[in-house]
Structure 1
Amino acid sequence: MKIVVTGGDGFLGWHLRTRLRALTSHEVIALTRRDFSRLATEARDAEAIVHVAGVNRGTDAEVEKGNVELADAVGKAVGASSGAPRLVFANSIQCGSDSPYGRGKAEARDILATAARSTGSTFVDVVLPNLFGEHGRPNYNSFVATFAHAAALGQVPDVQDRPVEVLHAQQAAQELINGVDTPGDATVEPAGEPTTVQSVWQTLQDAYRLYRSGDIPPLTTQLDVDMFNTLRAAMFPHAYPVRLTVNRDQRGGLVECVRCHGGQGQSFVSTSLPGVTRGNHFHLAKVERFLVLRGRARISLRRLFHEEVVSFDVSGDEPTVVDMPTMWAHNITNTGHEELVTFFWTHTLFDPNSPDTFAEQVEREANDT
């Protein structure tokens, strides 16, 4: 199926693309604000359009009018298409509120619903609560992104406590994917995780205090894991690699590879001959740790749909850990002249039915969209 995603380089758009890449074989055309002029052309033979692009910062007029104009462009593209592409809208719980954003989202919803009806297509309105997740922009996408970056920099943000529901962007992305397959018109209102603003800050701050020295905080709930992965993204790459303390005496040395304060995990060790590369995959949620015990290696990583490759040269002579950020392709190459011995740890037990491991070369291919 050909799916056009508007706002493909935004926070939710990026998460949606990573999930589509991992879990489906759909042809995904990601459109950014810079190439929105291609929308009508790409929509001609599209089977679905997921409208994620939006405006949530600017003057009152820019926010309200901007969301309406984006929806109007999508509606016109649908009307000019040769088929009847299904429309899925990434809406907000603020839709309909008496604010520029709320009014703009409500009018955008109505425009899209009308466009779908006019072509005999279907419209799925996905009404999302407060989103958070890896690579959110501080002071822009969500208060969680702001808090995560503050914790990563050792800062204390202004915390105004209130009850709040939060939903990880990968869960939101799955709801949008489900919308592509939903028969008929529908309004979907996924529930977030109930918490408070103060609790979110405390969770991130406590996790940082443990993790800055390499300890793994308690990962007993999915919200714990999602918050930790959000924090790790804010800390990457400036906080890595993490140097470990080698305790030495007359017998030799001892290194604590993983100190986990709660949850489960699995450890394993691999050997690699000189020049051998392992990995070239990514994970959606799994926390994975690399630690070279003997030999020399280069650990390389690339965020999905981005060009830059980040590399760390590590050695068993100076034990350091690099934890793989979620939704980054990564590999490890033996760059020495002897056998490489590497310790790996993941926060979950391996499940062959749901391995959360998806092939992706670190070196970006020319057709990677």
Structure 2
Amino acid sequence: MKVLVTGAAGFVGRNLVAELKNRGYTNLFLYTREHSSEDLERFTKECDFVFHLAGVNRPKNESEFMEDNYEFTSKLLSLLKKHNNASPILVTSSIQAEFDNPYGTSKKAGEDLIFQYSEETGVDVLVYRLPNVFGKWSKPNYNTVVATYCYNVSRNFDIHVNNTEAKLSLCYIDDVIKEFIKALEGTPNKHQTYCFVETIYAIKLGDLANRIQSFKETRTNLSILDMEDALTKKLYSTYLSFLPKDQFSYDLKMNCDERGSFTEFIRTPERGQVSVNVSKPGITKGNHWHHTKNEKFLVVSGEGLIRFRKLEAEEIIEYRVNGEKLQVVDIPTGYTHSIVNVGECDLITIMWVNECFDPEKPDTYFLEV
């Protein structure tokens, strides 16, 4: 199948093209502003399916709305008709088509043109009135407020929230592309006149701003937000895509002494805390027990001996672990325990505990194994 994508260099276009290639589509006609009329002539003659994504959101002059969103659509349809090409056409419109503003008016005019073309030719047209689409490769101050907030917050720029109670409808780019692939393969979601993307999120502008601000704070408080919430998960993925190239990494506070180091990596109220423990050769750490707090130890480098003794018992239980064979060792409650580096190099252990450390309630009691 030969697939024509107009607006292939835009936000939606780039994501669509990447997924088409992932799925093995190789005959792609990728039309951008850099192409000539002759290119478009050839593409419309040979294509088997059209993704018409080209358009403008925020032009310098209002006249560009009609030029790009209506007149280019007219040109595209004229060329398809000229070549008697009955390829199905998927068109991205906007929920703004319901409103009386220059952008919405141009989108509505483009819709009317498409529907008229379908009536005249019998060609199958798939019109999607998309809400605010967000995701990787979107442009700040152009595609969506999500892009603008992610860009600004990741660079310590101020963000402006004009109306915290303003309600937004958001749609994630991967959900859009998934629906477009379904349409290409003949199974779009359609209700009467318009097609639709199944997953739409509603959020207030103030809540959106706060949530994106919280993503930046995770680097200092080491928290992981609730990724079971689908919108949070998708917004966080989008936020990371806006990180400046020199700020992918961030430092952790290493608590160092002559024995080695202990460094907290992740803290979550729901899933506990993850830390990295480094012990020098011959060093023993631990020798304490817990009422309720429980842990998991995973040695990833070096050789260690984990020892347990139940309170008031004499029997000592030993587990020898090393980085050559990864094993998780559960640390039960009511057992004093320790870990000693019995190797010749640093012992590196990933430690998970079911609750974040609270100095007011440490639930940690010294007792030698």
CA contact (8 A) 1:220 1:263 kept: no
C-alpha change, 1:179 and 1:47, in structure 2 (3 Å) is: same
Q: How far 1:177 moved relative to its partner?
A: 2.3
C-alpha change, 1:174 and 1:26, in structure 2 (3 Å) is: farther
Q: Which amino acid aligns with 2:178?
A: Q
- What is the TM-score with the length of structure 2 in the denominator? 0.66
Deviates more, 1:69-78 or 1:180-189: 180-189
SS at match of 1:219: coil
Could you tell me which of 178, 189, 193 is aligned with 2:196?
Answer: 189
* Cα distance per residue 1:338-362 (max 9 Å; x no partner): xxx9x9xxxxxxxxxxxxxxxxxxx
CA contact (8 A) 2:154 2:244 kept: no
Q: How far 1:102 moved relative to its partner?
A: 1.2
Aligned-partner Cα distance in 1 for 2:65–2:249: 41
Aligned-partner Cα distance in 2 for 1:261–1:123: 49
Aligned-partner Cα distance in 1 for 2:57–2:28: 25
Could you tell me which of 148, 151, 169 is aligned with 2:173?
Answer: 169
- Alignment match, 2:152: 150
> Unaligned stretches of 5+ in structure 2?
275-299, 302-347, 351-369
- Alignment match, 1:49: 50
C-alpha change, 1:118 and 1:212, in structure 2 (3 Å) is: farther
- Alignment match, 2:68: 66
CA contact (8 A) 1:84 1:116 kept: no
Matches within 5 A, 1:89-100: 89-100=91-102
SS at match of 2:242: helix
SS at match of 2:34: helix
C-alpha change, 1:228 and 1:183, in structure 2 (3 Å) is: closer
Q: Structure 1 residue 240 and structure 2 residue 226: aligned?
A: no
C-alpha change, 1:230 and 1:253, in structure 2 (3 Å) is: same
- Alignment match, 2:2: 2
- Alignment match, 2:132: 130
- What is the TM-score with the length of structure 1 in the denominator? 0.66
Q: How far 1:176 moved relative to its partner?
A: 2.2
SS at match of 1:111: helix
Matches within 5 A, 1:331-346: none
- Between Structure 1 and Structure 2, whose CA radius of gyration is higher? 2
> Unaligned stretches of 5+ in structure 1?
267-292, 295-340, 344-369
Moved over 6 A (4+): none
Q: How far 1:262 moved relative to its partner?
A: 5.6
RMSD (CA atoms): 2.9
Q: How far 1:183 moved relative to its partner?
A: 6.5
C-alpha change, 1:263 and 1:247, in structure 2 (3 Å) is: closer
Q: How far 1:54 moved relative to its partner?
A: 0.5
CA contact (8 A) 1:7 1:32 kept: yes
C-alpha change, 1:36 and 1:15, in structure 2 (3 Å) is: farther
Q: How far 1:217 moved relative to its partner?
A: 3.0
Aligned-partner Cα distance in 2 for 1:111–1:263: 54
> Percent same amino acid among aligned pairs?
23
C-alpha change, 1:151 and 1:183, in structure 2 (3 Å) is: closer
Q: Which amino acid aligns with 2:259?
A: R
Q: Which amino acid aligns with 2:201?
A: E
More relative contact order, 1 or 2 (CA 8 Å, 6+ apart): 1
CA contact (8 A) 1:78 1:119 kept: no
Q: How far 1:42 moved relative to its partner?
A: 1.2
Q: How far 1:85 moved relative to its partner?
A: 0.8
C-alpha change, 1:72 and 1:36, in structure 2 (3 Å) is: farther
Deviates more, 1:61-70 or 1:126-135: 61-70
* Cα distance per residue 1:247-297 (max 9 Å; x no partner): 322222334444456679x9xxxxxxxxxxxxxxxxxxxxxxxxxx99xxx
Aligned-partner Cα distance in 1 for 2:180–2:224: 32
C-alpha change, 1:260 and 1:76, in structure 2 (3 Å) is: farther
Aligned-partner Cα distance in 2 for 1:21–1:102: 32
* Cα distance per residue 1:223-252 (max 9 Å; x no partner): 111110111111142312223333322222
Q: Structure 1 residue 75 and structure 2 residue 77: aligned?
A: yes
Q: Which amino acid aligns with 1:115?
A: Y
